[in-house]
Structure 1
Amino acid sequence: MTPEKQQKLEALALRVREHIVRLSTDGGCFTGASLSCADLLVYLYADCLNVRPDNLTDPTRDYLFLSKGHDVPALYGTFVELGFLDKARLDQHLSTDDHIYWHPNRNVPGVEFHSGSLGHLPSVALGVAMDCRMRGQTNKVIVITGDGELNEGTVWESLLVASAHKVNNLTLVVDRNHFQANVATEDLIPLEPLAPKFEAFGCEVRRIDGHDFAQMEEAFAALPFSETKPSVIICDTVRGRGLPSIEARADRWFCNFSSEEVTELLKELHSQEATTLTSETLTVR
């Protein structure tokens, strides 16, 4: 990945995180979970998928299904920055006058399917992938799940069907932030070793750092990983990424901050970004 592309994606991700923080008041949102998924959504929409505001009804576009629906603030932020959604609509968050709320709604341009009940969208994505293949199309079909969501049996049932029918245009992406709601996954129902589980269900698996754009570029460019199997990308992430004060905290899944707290968190977000840039500059020198 070129330094210019890296900087562009990092700047975009920072703006998306700003939107997430601003949505974390007046009723709140799933802040920590959304921050863990922000880099993934930014990379996929900005640099990987053939889906844009002007081709949302084109049947040959690529598809992204956010099964981990409570991460929708990261999706909203990405849509605003890429022109899918008017920024002013974010002011209607949780208002009965709009469809901007805690989970994706198809009345928001770019949202492919409602989600909220975890475990449903892998099956929906599988159906779309099979339909695209039967039509002779080459669409990418990607579904993002949470790691806690993997406790839903429908996730594994969909992979069994995908494997049996050799649906290689389906990719399952796991936002592996190691938390399920307000409990660490390994303290509730341990998931590890995770990759061998997917392999046993007939998938081809890779594991990457879900905050490293270069690793994302390499992994997604290699899709499909197999001509006869669905692909799985396990993305190791950090809940609350970008805000050290709430990172990797079980109690920072859903947040409802005061306006004063939001102001301080935005300062922290930019302070953290400046520290990162300074560190990278020093390393280069």
Structure 2
Amino acid sequence: MEHGIPDTPNGVQQLMSEHLQALSRLVAGGLADPAAAPAPAAAPAAKAPPDIRIRYHHGLEAIGAAIDEALADAGKEILTAQPDGPRPGPVLDEALESVRRQIAGGIAMRTLYQHTTRFDEATKNYVRTVSDYGVQVRTLAEFFDRMIIVDESVAFISANETRTNAIAIREPAIVRFLKDIFERSWDRANPFPFVSTHATRAAEQVIPSLRNSISKLLVSGYPDKQIARRLGISERSLQGHIAAMKQELGAHTRIQFGYELGRNETTLIL
């Protein structure tokens, strides 16, 4: 053995084993040379916080809770668009107390319905009551999907066709865009009337606008089911309007009717 290093294979192995054991004890005790120690594992990257400007809500209960929370924080104005014609009486009755509280708190409210609500007694009674509170209500033949905008800070829109999912939008640019759509529709809408209480008189007021929309949608190629949904009427009611329109134009078939509608559209453009 020279300089304390054993000159036999067993002696070398024993010395290496002792050195490895000593190094292990130093590392375990935190005394190892930092330069010699392996670099610590990188900490896992923190997940980015969810973007609260666009948030999905799944299910009617979750949607209702999110809307109620937003309405509770309202301080200036609530805008609502309610398509698809009349709403069930119990739904309207349940909404009355909420509307009364909001108006009593100094919140301005405007609501858009479709013309077909003028034929529904439950909706007329509801609108008459909320109008006494100070809510403004107007109607259109058709407009965009269901929407609620609170204080120009959050907008709720449907996220699927059945409206069982919704999106809460807090991105200012998008909320401003949606509010502009509402305002343009509001400017084109007609105040909900209370002078005429009979369906026949209400029909005189809204049928021309309704049939004008039917004409434009037919010329654009929309199928009957989509037209009925957009106008908030049943397919049976739509067929009744189409039959009356065919008679007015002197058309005997659907093809002839489409030709006459298209020709009338061209004449109006020219």
What is the TM-score with the length of structure 2 in the denominator?
A: 0.33
Higher percent of residues as helix: 2
What is the TM-score with the length of structure 1 in the denominator?
A: 0.32
Say which structure, 1 or 2, has more relative contact order (CA 8 Å, 6+ apart): 1
